[in-house]
Structure formats: C-alpha cells, structure tokens
Amino acid sequence: MAVTLEQARRVGYTCLKALLRFAFMVANNLVAIPSYVLYLIMLQPLRMLDSKRFWYIEGVLFKWLLAMVASWGWWAGYTVVEWGDDVKAVSEDEAMVLVNHQATGDVCTLMMCLQDKGTVVRQMMWLMDHIFKYTNFGIVSLIHGDFFIRQGRTHRDQQLVLLKDHLEKYYRSRNRKWIVLFPEGGFLRKRRETSQAFAKKNNLPFLKHVTLPRLGATQVILKTLVAPQENGTPTGGDAAIKESKSKGLQWVIDTTIAYPKGEPIDIQTWILGYRQPTVTHVHYRIFPVKDVPAEPEALTNWLYQRFIEKENLLTHFYETGAFPPPKGQTKAISREMTLSNLWLVGIQSLAFLSGGMWYCIFQYLYHCLF
C-alpha cells in the first residue's frame, strides 16, 4: 500500500516530536533528580535539628518532581476526568488507596490527578514493584521512603515482614497520610489468565477487566496503621494525649482507572507522546476503615467484592463511555481535573535553574581545589 505525502509528513512530525520530548525528559531528569538529592544533602543538619520541618521540605520537592512527570502527559494531551466520591474531602486524613493495575502509565496518571488534592502528593507513600528501584526515579523513591516489594510466592512472607517494619519505621515518623498500592500484584495482561484459572478452581467470579487481588499487603497495612479502638475511640491516655497522637488510618479509597477502549497508556507513550490526546477516567469510592473487616477470611471477601465492583464499573464504562451513577441517583457526575500550565512551567524552570546553580557551584569548587 502506497504511503501518501501527507501520511509521510504526519509520521515524520510524530517521530520528531517524540525525539524532542525524549530529549527534554532526559534533560529534565538530569537536572531535577540530582538537584533533589543535593538539596536534601545540604539540609541534613536541619534533619537532625528539626526532622518534621526537613520532611516537610522534602515532601514539597517530591511533589514538584511528580508534577514534572505529570507535565509530560499533560502537555501531550493526556488528561483526566474524575468520577464518584470527592477525595479532596479526606485529603488531610490517613487513607489507603487501592488501585487496579493495567500498565506503567497508571502510576503517571495518579501522579497527575492527585496533584490538586491538597498535601497528599507530598505526604504519600507508594508500594511498587522492586524493579522500579532501578529506574531513574528509584533514588527519589528510596529517599522519600516508598516501599519496593518483590513479587512471587518464594518472597511473599519475607516481604510482608519487611513491609510491616518499613511502615513502623517510616510512615508516621515522616508524617505520611496516604499509602497507594496495587493489590492485583501485577499488570492485568500478565495476571489475567492465572487469576481466571484460580477463580474457576475456587468457584469465584470470572473477571475480564481486573484480576482477583492479593490479601497480604492490604492486611499488613490495616494491622499496622489502623489505630486500636476501644468503645469507639482510640485506646490509651487522657483526651490531650489522644488528640496529640495520630488517629490512624481512617479511610480506604477504592480507585478504578479506565482507559478509552481498554487501551492503557504506558510510560513510553507518556514520555514520547506519540498517541493522540487521550482522556483517562478515574473513579473513586471512599469507605470508612471501621467498615473494613480485620479477620483474614472476611477481609479477603471484602477485597474480592471491591474488585468485582471494579469489574462492573469497567464493563459499564467500556459499553457506555461513562461510569454508572451511584445508587439512588439517575446520572453520574464527572469532574474534569485541571493543572495550571503556568505552575508547571514555573516548576520546570526552577528545576533547570537549580541544575544550573549546582553546576556553577561545582565548577567553582573544582577551580578552588585544583
């Protein structure tokens, strides 16, 4: 089939745009990530004197880095429309966020749509596959205190012990609020067949758009972060002491990501921008943690029910292009998530200015020493 001149031009333009975007992303990383690390090295005396203030500053820098990642997709036309409960209402409370997992772009989508949710981006902890430790962003996540989990049956028990220790050591000491995890334990395309075989063997629902979740990490998080209750209030101490302590995990935010035609965006597309502008749809449902069962079998059933609901949500979305309305309502209300281009340009400019500043500092030190 012959290629027309117009088609050739379009392909050439797409390739040139992808190349320029990739070059910008590389430059962005080369200045932003080292600057983040160097700022925090310089602030180590503050960490010893005032740990709370140090982690506040680190959180602001972390949010700016995630905003840079969000900007790559935003400027390519990869936007987000939100549905369901308004999570801004619980942005200052502790919450566990359960997300379905289809591709690497899921993380980028969350980095974007949580930018306008108050302080949650700078105070959140991520649970992600250990392979991300070895990416360009790995050093940032290590410093921030995210947890890298190894998948596989042979590692499972050990990883859950390590997760519990990690939460006890870093979650409250660094004033974390939200913890984000993908309970399916991998991408949909990789786990679907195994999940369906397990469901058939155990007389569980047949799922196409999600897989059956794993219990381990969810159970550890709930056991570790939910404050003990006694007669409806946290245990221990008088009222003043109770007030000064964390209320513990208060909410579970069930988050469902849907891509048009079920075609997820991966990290390569997010960076290179060769796909046409796409609207990703994100649905939230908030549950009080007091309504989540603690006993393993009941918790497993509760978690399965959430993913069965995700299956129904996604089925409706792929058939109609919208999520169904909540019970008792006739129409679902969507909210277009927006970012300020001026703010994103300011963050990017600050990154490159910081890179230039550190370069001048090291040049000066080099000439002084040699």
Residue indicated by tokens 């962003």: 137
| Interval 210-237: pLDDT, tens | 999 999 999 999 999 997 754 344 444 4
pLDDT score of 242 = 41
Whether 243 has a pLDDT exceeding 50, the answer reads no
Using CA of residue 255, residue 259, residue 263, residue 267, what is the dihedral sign? negative
Task: Judge contact between 135 and 73, C-beta under 8 A.
Answer: no
pTM above 0.85, yes or no: yes
Confidence of residue 279 (pLDDT cuts 50, 70, 90): very high
- List the beta bridge partners of residue 258: 281
Secondary structure of residue 178 in the 3-state scheme: strand
CB burial of residue 170 (10 Å; 0-12, 13-18, 19+): middle
* Distance of alpha carbon 210 from alpha carbon 187, whole angstroms: 9
Amino acid at 173: S
- 159-192 pLDDT per residue, tens: 999 999 999 999 999 999 999 999 998 898 888 9
What is the band of 156 on the pLDDT scale with cuts at 50, 70, 90? confident
Residue 149: its H or E element: strand 147-149
Q: Which distant-in-sequence residues (6+ apart) come within 8 Å of 215 by Cβ? A: 183, 296, 299, 300, 303
Lowest model confidence (mean pLDDT) among 132-146, 192-206, 239-253, 268-282: 239-253
DSSP SS3 for 284: strand
Contact in structure between 112 and 73 (CB atoms under 8 Å): yes
Q: Which two tokens stand for residue 252?
A: 């579970």
- 150 class by beta-carbon count within 10 Å (0-12 exposed, 13-18 middle, 19+ buried): middle
Please give the Cα distance from 167 to 174 (Å, whole number).
Answer: 10
Q: What would the mean pLDDT of 310-322 be, rounded to a whole number?
A: 95
